[in-house]
Structure 1
């Protein structure tokens, strides 16, 4: 269990660490999702998403469904700034441990991206484990990206400026999609925006063994997440766990956002090094005193700053 003392510290297996004061003030209120009970965890996540949903002024939204490769349908939500044409696009993949989340999970983030980075945001309601283990979510991401390219004229977008982004488990999908975009069968990308990304199913980094029970994410939840997502998978490669890529040459430029006290922290650093060693341009920011998912708490200064930094990265990427 995590503990928060009166001096705004958080305990871990390696000692006590000082949180950002605003995050410390709300950290005891951050819910613990019990991933062993997926139905209850989903209900809690949906309740929190509904309570926090605030449409961003100046943004139109549209919900639609597109065909999936298996004959089913894939739900998307489009976010468009008012009276905008020939827009760049970001395909956005929500977080939720591959088991939780929906189009409502990061609704406001997508709205801010659309308005302030002046882009079309396409959010994907990808299939979730355990009902749909890997590669279902990855295939949904690929299919959504292909749809964007084929519908460029109808969407009134610039198909030469497509980015991908994701938070946590969505960051894993975004990174995998960015690597796959090197294939001629998948549309090319100008950028990958990886926010507190989960990148390595092995869970053996130093930070994973230090920050075992910090607020926001724990080592046990991380292990259960990957176990559930990869259930029944016999061949695990970079499409499932991006850290396994042998050579990242040709991947699109990346921005990686890291929380200091996140069990996933060192996966982000390791992946940044792999990209840089392959000649890929990387921008990386670690925010002091932060925990996994901190940028979702936009009542805090550090959360607001992270969102602003992400929007700036997108604006720069779309200028290329």
Structure 2
């Protein structure tokens, strides 16, 4: 697999300290809240249709004797031979296991509408496993995909991510380069941890606007807890692998998509990324990249829509994400036919 030339930081866990213990206590509380929230809102996320089967698998980690869990969505009656494959990375503040599987409806739509295999991969969570452990698990998923040449077409790999998972997808896609990943679809990613209003910033985020229809408002203390759990003291929030806004644009594919609710504190992270591409990206990248700013919606509104308007916007941004993946697949297939 193609690798970037940037040196890797060593994988180091948090040192035992009162600060770490306090972080762990807060994260444990947030995990319990998230588990209840996922259970209470499960009915808001459509189930997988009969035309796609879902199985849980394990694939090998780079760490000897360890494996990583993933859900695999496969359209029924898929013809034999290598298939296009899409890798999704779930959200959860880099720290919450309960949100693994929350993207099932989007994964189902990609598998059903594009007739490709979708891998919804898990990854290790902070603070027990801070950066770069989660990114390496996502990278290991791509490594494994490329070894399965009888099942997956190495020329047709795309990615997506939600919230923290979108950050991991952007970081991983940039590392392996556009030769490997042909499209990246992101929903409300954190892309810049260096600004005053970022997760590690000092000032509080504003209260949620009264116009927010659905979604969760990211309160400052919880947001900061997640990022401080993800970044051990030796890791600067300014490194590009964390603040992915600063990664080199030439390492991204042409097909990129961003969506975020206008009431989401992470909205401007997507907006700024899109504007950077329109200013500094290559012409083909500028032409194919899209950003949807969703009015009156907060963080992760698509995974817990509470009114018809939110459902309609969820369907719109999911449709746009699927269209981005389809365009990348079609373009790559045309190139392969031309080269044959």
TM (norm. structure 1) is: 0.79
Q: Residues 78, 49 of structure 1: CA spacing in aligned structure 2 closer, same or farther, 3 A cutoff? A: farther
1:157-236 matches, cutoff 5 A: 157-182=152-177, 188-205=180-197, 212-214=206-208, 216-220=216-220, 221-236=222-237
Aligned to 1:319: 330
| Separation in structure 2 between the aligned mates of residue 269 and residue 288 of structure 1, nearest angstrom | 13
Q: Which runs of 5+ in 1 are unaligned?
A: 1-33
The CA deviation at 1:81 is 1.0
Alignment of 1:91-102 (within 5 A): 91-101=87-97, 102=99
The 5 A counterparts of 1:132-171 are: 132-153=129-150, 155=151, 157-171=152-166
Q: Write the distance in 2 (CA, Å) between the matches of 1:37 and 1:180.
A: 33
Equivalent pair of 2:187/2:258 in contact (CA under 8 Å)? yes
User: SS where residue 181 of structure 2 aligns?
Assistant: coil
Does the CA-based 8 Å contact 1:95-1:171 persist in structure 2? yes
Where structure 2 has 5 or more consecutive residues not aligned to the other structure, the ranges are: 1-25, 209-214, 332-340
1:88 aligns with 2:84: yes
CA distance in 1, matches of 2:63, 2:41: 29
Residues 204-244 of structure 1: CA distance to partner in whole angstroms, max 9, x if unpaired? 35999796332513251322221111124435522222123
The Cα of 1:286 is off from its aligned counterpart by 1.2
Farther off after superposition, 56-65 or 207-216:
207-216
Does 1:56 pair with 2:49?
Answer: yes
Contact 1:38 1:99 in 2 (8 A): no
- 1:314 deviation in Å? 1.7
State which of 59, 66, 69 in structure 1 corresponds to 2:62. 69
Q: Which of 78, 88, 99 pairs up with 2:72?
A: 78
The offset of 1:284, in angstroms, is 1.2
CA displacement at 1:318 relative to structure 2 = 1.3
Q: How many aligned residue pairs are there?
A: 281
Structure with more helix by fraction = 2
